[in-house]
Homo-oligomer: A and B are copies of this chain.
Amino acid sequence: MRKINIALLGCGVVGSGTYNILKDKRKEFKTIYGIDIAVTKILVKNIAKDRKGIDKNLLTTDFNSILNDQSIQIVVEVMGSIDLAREYTLKAINAKKNVVSANKDLIALSFAEILAAAKNNNVVFAYEASVAGAIPIIGVINRSLVGKTFNKVLGILNGTTNYILTKMTRDGLTYKEALQEATELGYAEIDPTSDVMGLDSARKIAILSSIAFKREVTFNDVHVEGITKITAEDIDFAKLFGYTIKLLAIGEETEGKIIARVHPTLVSNTHPLANVNDSYNSIYLNAESGDTMLYGKGAGDLPTGSAVVGDIVDACRLLEAPIDSKNYSTCYRDVELGELNDINSKMFLKINTKHEVGTLAKITSKFEKNNINIESITQTLLSEDDVVLCILTEKCSKLSIEKALESIEKFDVVKSVISTMMVL
């Protein structure tokens, strides 16, 4: 029987989830795979802290005692943070240890660097737990669907914002009310910035784009817009046209460029992503050879812990795999990154105007001039001299929309362009 010793870096929610699953499954893994997986060291900050169910003898505060332990073949990084995690990850890899990571913040910044180090040292670097705990999207893209060429990866990747938008859509809450409810229920953190500004989704789509298109896309390359400006009115107008507003994270390869972005998007009610509600996550993969969607909760100790365990078992299997075959993805392709203005999309526009004869003709003439076809339009009189125009365009370039709006904003009758949103 092969014995595989493992060290955990960190013993928080994911770390203890991983520890417990490995303990529960130890006998099963012996029986099925002939491997005996044992956690032999756990790096923590404070040994004295009470940790229910964790053997105290495994705890250490000294990373070097793990690094120099030749019996440890796999290091599991579940400590979070960026700088220290990066240092430990690279040190472990350079010491020829296989690394399993749940750290999306780090991977969304240093993916290519870490993969290159893993290749140089002929070790596995695995990261299923870094995106969407209960949804095994990394393995699906990297392994099962390796025969596919992806056009687009679409995701609802953040449970907090999806919960807020669901509450606004279903129960008519305002953004503030929905956020408050999410906070009270523990779905939103005390400081919800990273979620509501779209940063958490951006990190995840950076990783998913990198593996789907095999070209590094970092957090800094993602165009991001959060949900803080969405109003109940936006949601109602979207409904009127048959759409639901979702915070989508989208990676796509189009006309030889890769673009990754996160923004509120009008999703047609007939698209399966429109029905992904509450704190659920979902990822929709679009490929010539058929679409696939995955759905589940995003986070939690056991979902994320089981993603880590899947990677550990896989790493055990790959220990003897030939060089180059130990890692599923490389960022080897030389493809340019595109700008938001390169995107072709249907657009949803909300414009506030005065109530004057000829307003609509003036505005629509600017769309015509920029070759933008209008699919639907509604005009709502809010008060005597206050009109809201909602316009759904056919597919057009974002650049042409920007140009049209620049001219439209100059009209005296136009009070303001309230919002513009892309449509899936």
Chain A positions near chain B (C-beta within 8 angstroms): 2, 21, 24-25, 28, 31-35, 128, 133-136, 139-140, 143-149, 214, 272, 275, 287-297, 300, 302-303, 305-310, 313-314, 316-318, 320-325, 329-330, 332
Contact = CB atoms under 8 A, between A and B. Distances in A.
Contacts of A134: 289-292
Given A135-B292, A292-B135, A293-B296, A309 B275 contact: no
B147 A310 contact: yes
Contacts of A323: 34
A144 B307 contact: yes
Given A134-B291, A291-B297, A294-B294, A325 B34 contact: yes
A420 B140 CA distance: 39
The 8 tightest CB contacts between A and B, nearest first, are: A34-B324, A147-B309, A136-B144, A147-B306, A289-B302, A290-B303, A134-B290, A293-B295
Given A290-B306, A293-B295, A294-B294, A34 B322 contact: yes
Contacts of A317: 318, 321-322, 325
Contacts of A293: 294-296
Given A34-B322, A147-B310, A272-B295, 6 more contacts: A25-B146, A133-B290, A136-B144, A147-B309, A292-B296, A317-B325
Residue of A147, A305, A320 with highest tally of chain B CB at under 10 A: A147
A31 B303 CA distance: 33
Contacts of A28: 214
Given A2-B322, A32-B330, A147-B21, A294 B291 contact: no
A136 B147 contact: no
A313 B33 CA distance: 20
Contacts of A288: 302
Contacts of A290: 133-134, 296-297, 300, 302-303, 306
Given A128-B144, A292-B294, A305-B289, A32 B313 contact: no
A13 to B, nearest CB: 13
A149 to B, nearest CB: 8
B291 A147 contact: no
Contacts of A31: 330, 332
Given A140-B140, A320-B321, A306 B148 contact: yes
A144 B139 CA distance: 6
B32 A329 contact: yes
Contacts of A139: 139-140, 143-144
A292 B32 contact: no
Contacts of A310: 143-147
Nearest to A1: B324
